[in-house]
Amino acid sequence: MYGSGHDGDGPDPAKSGAPADVPYLGAAKALDEMAIRSVRPDLIVDVTYDREHPYAVPADVAAAAGVPILALAVGGDTSLPRILSRFAELAHALGGEPARQQGELAAAEEAVRSAASPLKVLALSAAGSGQVHLARPRAWPELRHLADLGVELTDPGAGGVNWSTTDWEHAAALAPDLVLADSRGNAVPARELDSVPGWRALTATATVEPWNPELPCSGAACAAFLHSVADALEVLRAKR
């Protein structure tokens, strides 16, 4: 197991999800050829957002280690069902069991459809007391999928490809009903934003739920995320 450039010396609890006996090799510049060779892999599996470069493992490091690298596309131009299908195909090709989570995922999707309207959802990543990154819904497969299921995802405004970087006052002015807040270790946690006026204004009227922008590409993980959104929306609808 290894991390991306957002990660540190240990695995991020928000996205590690691996068995305890799987070693963590490091992240970004700390992930060198010796670390890779230490576990003697036959293949490195990564993801790619631009369809050209692996996201977490530098291609030259993999080459120096003498291990081929396979990066599957997970950018916003690839649908969530397609991403899940490709990862399931790869797992099966590598000797894993065929995916048996279609029913669970379909149930989660139906739950979202039932709860979606007429509530507004904003996804974001807190950068500090004076800055926040607002997600562009179509740039993130799981957010795009929510939109396809009928959820009203808020457009953050101008600037940036995946994120619009702005201040908390702008975020609050968008007046969402539900905020999906980046739960990764590189994002500022909600408990550190209590003194920020814009955050207080935003959360005075909005419910906050965690969101992992590097969601594991499995049916079970995606179904759990969809269910969490559906449950939050159902609670909000009941209050209206």
Q: Say what the pLDDT of residue 152 is.
A: 97
Q: Say what the pLDDT of residue 6 is.
A: 79
Residue 91: pLDDT over 70: yes
Q: Say what the pLDDT of residue 14 is.
A: 77
Give CATH for domain 102-239. 3.40.50.1980
Percent of the chain predicted with pLDDT > 90: 68
What is the value of pTM for the model shown? 0.91
Residue 58: pLDDT over 80: yes
Q: Say what the pLDDT of residue 97 is.
A: 73
Local structure of residue 42 (DSSP, 8 states) = S
Q: Per residue in 23-35, pLDDT tens?
A: 888 887 778 899 8
Q: Say what the pLDDT of residue 5 is.
A: 76
Residue 73: pLDDT over 70: yes
Q: Say what the pLDDT of residue 42 is.
A: 94
Q: Per residue in 11-20, pLDDT tens?
A: 777 776 656 6
- Domain coordinates in residue numbering, the chain: 1-73, 102-239
Q: Say what the pLDDT of residue 201 is.
A: 97
Q: Per residue in 92-124, pLDDT tens?
A: 899 877 666 677 999 999 999 999 988 999 999
Q: Per residue in 218-229, pLDDT tens?
A: 899 999 999 999
Q: Say what the pLDDT of residue 127 is.
A: 97
**Mean pLDDT over the full length of the chain:** 91
Q: Per residue in 127-165, pLDDT tens?
A: 999 999 999 999 999 999 999 999 999 999 888 889 999
